[in-house]
Amino acid sequence: MILLEFEEGPTLESEAPIRLRIGEDEILGWDEETAFMRLPLIPTAFEGLVVLRQLRRHGRFEMQIGRFGANGTLLFALIGEDVVVHDPDSERTGRVPLAELEAAWEAFADRVAAAVRARAPDLIETLERLEVWRTETPPWWDDPRYYEGHWRERFEYYGWWPETID
């Protein structure tokens, strides 16, 4: 089971508390009481879709969370048809079928887009700029310098190799 959601307060802002739970594991939070992490809402929704497409191509990928990785990073690795998601800061890891995570992230992006259109007209320009990432990959993400060697360096930095995870 995947739970990918955001808290809507009285106003919808560019950042919102976001939660990612895979099974019983709160990936973004330290525990049940801090399960949500305040992150840029629209970029998180649509960058996640790009990361999952890149993961299918490369087998591993990193998603910096927050503005320029200010809130850390999520590491993604394919093992068969499953994806392993790991937050090196909280040391939380979850494993789920990739197709299930893709569907959950797409539904999350749909909810974000609907909420922005309904409640945050000042964010629509940002939404429209990033919503194309549903189907398109930003050109810099296809630059081999972005991923060749980079993911290996980052995964080595964190000392995390998912082949060892049962």
pLDDT along the chain (166 residues), means of 10: 87 87 84 77 92 88 71 86 89 93 96 94 91 82 61 63 52
Q: 31 lies in which domain range?
A: 2-164
Domain total in the chain:
1
Instruction: Classify residue 158 by burial, with Cβ atoms within 10 Å: 0-12, 13-18, 19+.
Output: middle
User: Which pLDDT does position 107 carry in this prediction?
Assistant: 97
User: Which pLDDT does position 96 carry in this prediction?
Assistant: 96
- CATH number of the domain that 9 lies in? 3.30.2450
User: Which pLDDT does position 45 carry in this prediction?
Assistant: 94
DSSP 133: G
pLDDT digits (tens, 9 = 90+) for 17-39: 899 999 988 898 755 567 888 88
